[in-house]
Structure 1
Amino acid sequence: MNITEHQQNTTFQYCFPDNNSSCRKEVRAGSASVVVFIVLSCVSVFTVFLNLLVIISISHFKQLHTPTNLLILSLAVADLLVGLFVMPVKIMELFDSCWYLGKTVCTLFPVIDYVTVSASVSSLVLIAVDRYIAVNDPLLYPTRITVCKTSLFIIIAWSWSVFYNLMLMYFNNHLLHSQISDGCYGKCVLVMKYTWVMVDFVITFLGPCIIILILYSTIFKVARRQAKAVRDGRNGATNKHVDKISSSSETKAAKTLAIVIFLYLACWIPFTVGPLSVEDVISSSLVVNLVNWFMYINSSVNPLIYAIFYPWFKTSVKYIMTCRIFESSSSSFSLFPERL
């Protein structure tokens, strides 16, 4: 797009025309902006809808009240908040440079944004730990991992997310000076110091990424070792059948590992690596808003990875969409008919 086309698609007004100190308003127009607005709005709705289905399913059906599903529930709650509160505000910021929600919300919104995203990452790590223990110590898993213990770890993870991000905002003076507007009214800008960008990079991306990679790599190795043991123990007429089962198990583990790692890295690398080359990262910049969306999209794909691939989710969705969950005994419905 050349300069003339950019000027035609961008109009300048004032955020609050009745206020003499109002900031200048930049509105992005044009067919491309409309398409992006529609797509991002659909992503927000899609994120809320999918995660709400996961939350209703796990909360309502007693069969799903397991430690692993509690972790998926925690992940879905965090991702729901991202789709319900964070995404709509970020859409507004992307297409309208003004802040209309006031100073209080300007102070609280970055905290909500960072807490929900951090809680989502913490849930991903806890899910990886849960699966690691289940694969490496399946016999002792039911006694080592209980609903009470899992609930406690979820509370700790959310508490840590709140504490860490409050400290992050405080040390960047956002909680003390939330409205940095260069002398005009109608802006909400969060400036991150480079030192804290590096700290946040390690805590919210590099650390969790290393943990997830190590745990899922170990899970994959154990799955391959178990598949090999099954193949080595085959005999007689069952050879082909056992080979098929072990090969399928190994292939499924490899695909799951590849999907988890690829989508996690694809969603987080643009958000974390991009700002590292900038001395002061300003949250209202167009580039930062765009790369943020890669991170937010992770909240859309999480339910696809951790719930939709589960057979029980498809069954529970049928009950929800047909309103059968309003039946008096619906919470006791079986979601695993193949086991009957």
Structure 2
Amino acid sequence: MNYTEYRQNITVQYCFPDNNSSCRKEIYTGPMNIFLLVFLLCISVCTVVLNLLVIISISHFKQLHTPTNLLILSLAVADLLLGLIFMPVKMMRLIDSCWYLGKMACCVLPVINAVLSSASLCSLVFIAADRYIAVCDPLLYSTRVTVCKTSLFIILGWSLSLFYITMCLYFNDHFLPSQISTRCEGECIVIITYYWVIIDLVVSFVVPCSVILILYSVIFNVARRQAKAIRVVKNAAPNKQGIEVSSSSETKAAKKLGTVIFVYLACWIPFYLSSLSTDSLISVSVIYAVFSWLVLINSSVNPLIYAIFYPWFRKSVCYIVTCRIFQSSSSRLNLFPKQTPR
């Protein structure tokens, strides 16, 4: 589709016909817009459903009340709220250029998105730290990492996210309702100054990304050394089956860690690289819209990485879908028939 055909698919109206200061409304009805809307709608629904299943599973079944699963629960709550609150608003802008929610909502919604995204990143860091302790110091894991301590860290992570975004609001005038660009009624343009883009790049990407990469690198190296040690022991034994088991475990661990790192970097690097190319980041720019959606898609991928790969999640989903969770004592059902839960 060329530019002329694209313009023919746009019907120009006014956001508020009875208001003389109303902005012009552009309704995008092209096939590409419809396809994109349907695709993102599916992403939003999957984000809500998958994270809701994770939340119900961990909250309902007593057997899943472990420190690691509490961190996954915190991550799922942040991702669920992103899919439930922020994604539908973003989809509205794909079919209608007008902003109908008022100036205050224009200011508050980006803040909600920032807080939830920061809380999600904090959960990812805590999950990496939890796995680091479990692999590198397994004998003391149960004493060093408890449900109570993990709950305190989750509260701390959400509090730090809220505090950081509050500081952004305080020092960045463009986030204030009185400073938001509204040349006409029905417009919402939030501008983030360049120096805050740099600060956010360091605080929200470089630091957590570095921590996650370092921790998972150490985890992988330790797991590989442990697998080699097991292989040496099994080589000395007549039974060679253990070699295949250890090699398979090492391969699975490498794939899972590689998936975690790749998805995290693939979703966040394009957004921050694009933000460095301009003096200010405008919320209505095409580049901002595309890469911010890529960051949001990470919220639908997180439950796939941290939950669906686990057998207990698949079994708990079966109980939820078949409504067996409404039976008496269903919270004490055994989700680990073959092994004791860690």
TM-score range, shorter chain: over 0.9
- What is residue 169 of structure 2 aligned with on the other side? 169
Deviation at 1:61, TM superposition (A): 0.2
- What is residue 237 of structure 1 aligned with on the other side? 238
SS at match of 1:27: strand
Deviation at 1:4, TM superposition (A): 1.1
Q: Normalising by the residue count of structure 1, what TM-score does the alignment of the two structures yield?
A: 0.97
Task: Answer yes or no: is the 8 Å Cα contact 1:22–1:184 preserved in 2.
Answer: yes
For 1:182 and 1:47, how far apart are their aligned partners in 2?
A: 32
Deviation at 1:170, TM superposition (A): 2.7
- What is residue 184 of structure 1 aligned with on the other side? 184
Matches within 5 A, 1:300-315: 300-315=300-315
For 1:182 and 1:314, how far apart are their aligned partners in 2?
A: 48
For 1:182 and 1:43, how far apart are their aligned partners in 2?
A: 30
For 2:9 and 2:194, how far apart are their aligned partners in 1?
A: 33
For 1:302 and 1:14, how far apart are their aligned partners in 2?
A: 40
For 1:178 and 1:36, how far apart are their aligned partners in 2?
A: 33
Deviations 1:228-277 (A, max 9, x none): 11111122322x21211110111011101110011111111121111110
For 2:338 and 2:178, how far apart are their aligned partners in 1?
A: 55
For 2:330 and 2:232, how far apart are their aligned partners in 1?
A: 45
Q: Which moved more, 1:175-184 or 1:62-71?
A: 175-184
Deviation at 1:183, TM superposition (A): 2.6
Note the aligned Cα RMSD (angstroms).
Answer: 1.3
Matches within 5 A, 1:287-326: 287-326=287-326
1:219 aligns with 2:237: no
Structure 1 residues 273, 62: closer, same or farther in 2, change over 3 A?
same
Matches within 5 A, 1:250-329: 250-329=250-329
1:330 aligns with 2:330: yes
Task: Answer yes or no: is the 8 Å Cα contact 1:179–1:189 preserved in 2.
Answer: no
- What is residue 20 of structure 2 aligned with on the other side? 20
For 1:231 and 1:155, how far apart are their aligned partners in 2?
A: 42
Q: Which moved more, 1:229-238 or 1:156-165?
A: 229-238
The one-letter amino acid of 1:188's match is C
Aligned-residue sequence identity (percent) comes to 64
Structure 1 residues 220, 97: closer, same or farther in 2, change over 3 A?
same
Matches within 5 A, 1:108-147: 108-147=108-147
For 2:171 and 2:49, how far apart are their aligned partners in 1?
A: 36
For 1:182 and 1:231, how far apart are their aligned partners in 2?
A: 66
- What is residue 246 of structure 1 aligned with on the other side? 246
Matches within 5 A, 1:92-103: 92-103=92-103
- What is residue 199 of structure 1 aligned with on the other side? 199
The one-letter amino acid of 1:236's match is A
For 1:175 and 1:267, how far apart are their aligned partners in 2?
A: 24
- What is residue 58 of structure 1 aligned with on the other side? 58
Task: Answer yes or no: is the 8 Å Cα contact 2:264–2:298 preserved in 1.
Answer: yes
The one-letter amino acid of 1:127's match is I
Task: Answer yes or no: is the 8 Å Cα contact 1:230–1:246 preserved in 2.
Answer: yes
- What is residue 42 of structure 1 aligned with on the other side? 42
Deviation at 1:11, TM superposition (A): 2.6
Task: Answer yes or no: is the 8 Å Cα contact 2:104–2:177 preserved in 1.
Answer: no
Task: Answer yes or no: is the 8 Å Cα contact 1:125–1:211 preserved in 2.
Answer: yes
The one-letter amino acid of 1:81's match is L
For 2:149 and 2:269, how far apart are their aligned partners in 1?
A: 32
Consecutive unaligned residues of structure 2, counting only runs of 5 or more, are none
SS at match of 1:152: helix
For 2:30 and 2:91, how far apart are their aligned partners in 1?
A: 16
SS at match of 2:173: coil
Task: Answer yes or no: is the 8 Å Cα contact 1:125–1:208 preserved in 2.
Answer: yes
Q: Normalising by the residue count of structure 2, what TM-score does the alignment of the two structures yield?
A: 0.96
1:151 aligns with 2:151: yes
SS at match of 2:19: coil
Task: Answer yes or no: is the 8 Å Cα contact 2:175–2:192 preserved in 1.
Answer: no
SS at match of 1:338: coil
Deviation at 1:182, TM superposition (A): 4.4
Deviation at 1:6, TM superposition (A): 2.1
Consecutive unaligned residues of structure 1, counting only runs of 5 or more, are none
The one-letter amino acid of 1:278's match is T
